[in-house]
Structure 1
Amino acid sequence: MLDLAKLASQIPGISQHFQREMTASRQRLERAQVLIRQTHAKQQDLIELHEQWRDRLIFSTATPVEPLDTRVPITPAPYSHSVFATDGSQISPSHHEIAYCYLINIGRVMLHYGQNLHPLLDSVPEVYYKSEDIYVAKQWGIRVEEWMGYRRTVLESEMLAEMACGWVNPPGPHREPNLALVDGSLVYWFLETLPHDARDRLLPPMQAAWSQLQAAKIPMIGYISASRSLEALNFFRLNACPHPTPNCIVNCSDLLDAQMPCQVVSPLRDVTLWAYLLEPGQRGPLWRSHARILNSYEECHRVYFCYVHVGTEIARVEMPAWVAEDSTLLDQALSLMLAQVYKGYGYPISLSEAHNYAVVKAADRVRFFALLEQEMLKAGLRNVGTSYKEARKRGSIA
């Protein structure tokens, strides 16, 4: 139980701290606005400088593919269109349960507007209980819980492509506009630390799913709310670098990132800056991410992004290259995405519904293991039950 009386004495210090942070943030924002104007004046030179020296940088930076002063109003969504979305949840394995297994549940949503068609809102569970499913990651030193999360990401992409392409294929000449939505980044940073054999179990099926969407001309975007990314602001650090060349390894290898002389606006985030530069319903310039893991992606699936003022916040919207480089698909994706945000009162309604159908509640977990226990008893197994620790926790008198 939380003791609110003891907690109350700490609250004033927290509020004072954040008040000081707000003042400092305004000062950093003023410096960032000056820096972006200076960077815009020599944007192409800095892009070429990045291309030449990016292997010597010790921070990840994106490069703009449009002028930094780009402000594009997003067109309203057409009356008739379709949106597809997936999200996932799981039941983690536990040695205290009646069986050591895990479950991944993928929520699927297909919404049709202006077409008098029934929506699809359901979930697809997958149970993993075989040794080759559970312990496959041990050979690479990956914990079961981590591997389960990676597998969930793969399933989200595969089921999204299966659902969307199954609906629109074969693509007709007069079909309604559509959009495939996923929650979160398309840059799978976690892959970077994995051994190549483990990565080969995950990335190819995800890329294959994206290729299915590309072939069907269904634009896909990843929607990131409350992004903490610095990739765009890091590009301005090239202009703020006081050294003749931005060779971080030689010039600043003995410094922490926060101490580097190019960090003139840290810890300002991309979304904080673009909140002052964009009007509601506008997007900023397109950027190309240069995260190291993207070297393992197919060229057509390299990730681009832009920041969009959706009215309630600045959202980071990511898309593969085949969407970013097709102006028709890009405009279609952004207009349908913004309509989803409006319908969801600040967050894409298809993603929130996919989450609601995916989430596994405590009662669902109990019912799952109860069903499993019944089936194990029917199969003639004996001594089926939870550990004493788990049983006492569930029956606590506290």
Structure 2
Amino acid sequence: MLDLTKIAGQMQGLSQHLSSEVAESNRRLELAKEHLKTAFECQQELISRQEKWRDRILFANATPIEPLETCIDIPTPPKVHTVIATDGSQIAPNHHEIAYCYLLNIGRVVLHYGQNRHPILDSLPEVFYRPEDLYIARQWGLRTEEWMSHRRTADETTVLAELACSAKTEAPALAMVDGSLIYWFLDQLPMDARDRILPPILEAWQQLRKAEIPIMGYLSAARNIEATNFLRLLACPHPVPDCISYCPDQLEALPCKKFDNLRDTTLWTTQLQPGQRGPLWRSNNRILQLYEDQTIYFCYVHVGTEIARIEFPMWVAENSSMLDQALGLMLAQVQKGYGYPVAIAEAHNQAVVRGGDRNHFFALLEREMIKAGIKNVGISYKEARKRGSIA
């Protein structure tokens, strides 16, 4: 039980700390705006330096594909269209439960607008209980819970492609997922483990590409700093941006980190009006070398309530009419969802496993185990005591 009276005395110190953080953030923001104005005039020179020294630069940075001052009004989408989204949830394995297994639940949503067609709002659950599912991650030194999360990511994308292709009509369509299309965690996985996650995702994207259905990842409250880090090339005091030679320890107070940790969304809040997008960027994350011809581009969009980061594969970015239409459909989803895409929100609601669902799942499992003749079915004494209190 949380003792709020003991916490109340710590609130004043927390509020003072946050106030100083806001002041420092405002200082970094003003400095970043000055560098951004300067970068307008020498953008191509900065890109040339970036490309030439990319193997020697030690901080994450993206490449602008359009002029940095780009502010484009997103077009109004057609009234007749379809939006598809998936999201996932799970029940993690627990040695204290009646059986050691886990469940993945993929929420599916298809919303048809102006077509007089019924929507799809459901979920696809799958139970994993075989040893090859439960213990495969051990050979790579991964926890089962961690592997379960990675597998869920792949399943979400696979289901999304199948759902979108089966729902395709003559009307424009958009496939959406919650979060980034840049799977940073892959960089930490052994090659064998990575080969079980990434290829199905890329294959699903290829299916969407053939069906001419764009896919977009929607990031709310994004913490990325790739675009802002591009301005560090301008702030570098050395003859060339050779971090390995001049600044090998990136944790130190470096001269180019004048606006360190300033989020991209914070900077672009000062540049965009509601309904506008900023310039296109190409991410240079190392893991994208494995994406073949589907490397990830992104842009920042003022959706009215916040600056959202929108990610999409290269084949979407290179098709300007597809990109414009997809951004229009995305913005309409945010407006319909009062600040967040309604299709993604509904996919989450379909996927989420609540406490009652979890109890029903284990009750069903217990009944089947007893029916199969298994004796001494029950949770551990530790779990039983945690669920009740004698106080």
Fold match, TM over 0.5? yes
User: Is 1:287 matched with 2:272?
Assistant: no
RMSD of Structure 2 on Structure 1 (CA)? 1.0
What letter matches 1:22 in structure 2? V
Match of 1:235 in 2: 230
Q: Secondary structure at the match of 1:100?
A: coil
How big is each residue's C-alpha offset from its partner over 1:337-394, in whole Å with a ceiling of 9 and x where there is no partner? 0000000000001111100110001111111011011111111111211111112222
Give, in whole Å, the separation in 2 of the partners of 1:156 and 1:255: 35
Partner of 1:382: 375
* CA distance in 2 between partners of 1:345 and 1:231 (Å): 28
Task: Decide which of 312, 322, 330 is 2:315's aligned counterpart.
Answer: 322
Q: Secondary structure at the match of 1:86?
A: strand
The CA deviation string for residues 301-320 of structure 1, in whole angstroms up to 9 with x for no partner, is: 10000000000000000000
Q: Which residue of 1 aligns with 2:33?
A: 33
The runs of at least 4 consecutive aligned structure 1 residues that moved more than 6 Å come to none
Moved more, 5-14 or 314-323: 5-14
Deviation (angstroms), 1:256: 1.7
User: 1:282-326: per-residue Cα shift (whole Å, max 9, x none)?
Assistant: 000000000000011121x10000000000000000000000110
Secondary structure in 2 matching 1:342: helix
CA drift at 1:204: 0.3
Q: Hey, what does 2:206 align to over in structure 1?
A: 211
Paired residues for 1:141-160 under 5 Å: 141-160=141-160
CA deviation map 1:77-100 (0-9, x unaligned): 211110000000000001111111
After superposition, what is the alpha-carbon deviation per residue over 1:252-308, rounded to whole angstroms, capped at 9, x for unaligned? Answer: 114525x11101112211000001110000000000000000011121x10000000
Deviation at 1:150, TM superposition (A): 0.3
The question of 1:308 aligning with 2:301 is answered: yes
How far the C-alpha of 1:74 sits from its partner, in A, is 0.4
Q: State the shift of 1:333 in Å.
A: 0.9
Aligned counterparts of 1:2 and 1:254: Cα–Cα separation in 2: 41
Displacement of 1:395: 2.7
Q: Output the CA distance in 2 between the equivalents of 1:253 and 1:365.
A: 49
Q: Distance in 2 between matches of 1:229 and 1:130?
A: 38
Shift of 1:29: 1.2
Tell me the secondary structure at the aligned position of residue 10 of structure 1: helix
Identical columns (%): 62
Could you tell me how far apart the structure 2 residues matched to 1:17 and 1:80 are?
50
Q: Which moved more, 1:79-88 or 1:3-12?
A: 3-12
Partner Cα separation in structure 2 for residue 255 and residue 282 of structure 1: 34
Task: State the one-letter code of the partner of 1:396.
Answer: S
Give 1:359's aligned residue: 352
After superposition, the Cα gap between the structure-2 partners of 1:329 and 1:117, relative to the gap in structure 1 and judged at 3 Å, is same
Alignment match, 1:89: 89
Quick check: 2:176–2:217 contact (8 Å CA) kept in 1?
A: yes
* 1:296 match: 290
The one-letter amino acid paired with 1:397 is: I
How many residues align? The count is 391
* Superposed counterparts of 1:158-197, under 5 Å: 158-168=158-168, 175-197=170-192
Aligned mates of 2:390, 2:269 — CA distance in 1 = 50
TM-score if structure 2 supplies the norm length? 0.98
Match of 2:130 in 1: 130
2:272 is the counterpart of 1:278? yes
Helix, strand or coil: the match of 1:201?
coil
Q: Which residue of 2 aligns with 1:104?
A: 104
Runs of at least 5 residues in structure 2 that lack an aligned partner in the other structure: none
Residue 61 in structure 1 maps to residue 61 in structure 2: yes
Measured after TM superposition, the shift of residue 19 of structure 1 is 1.9
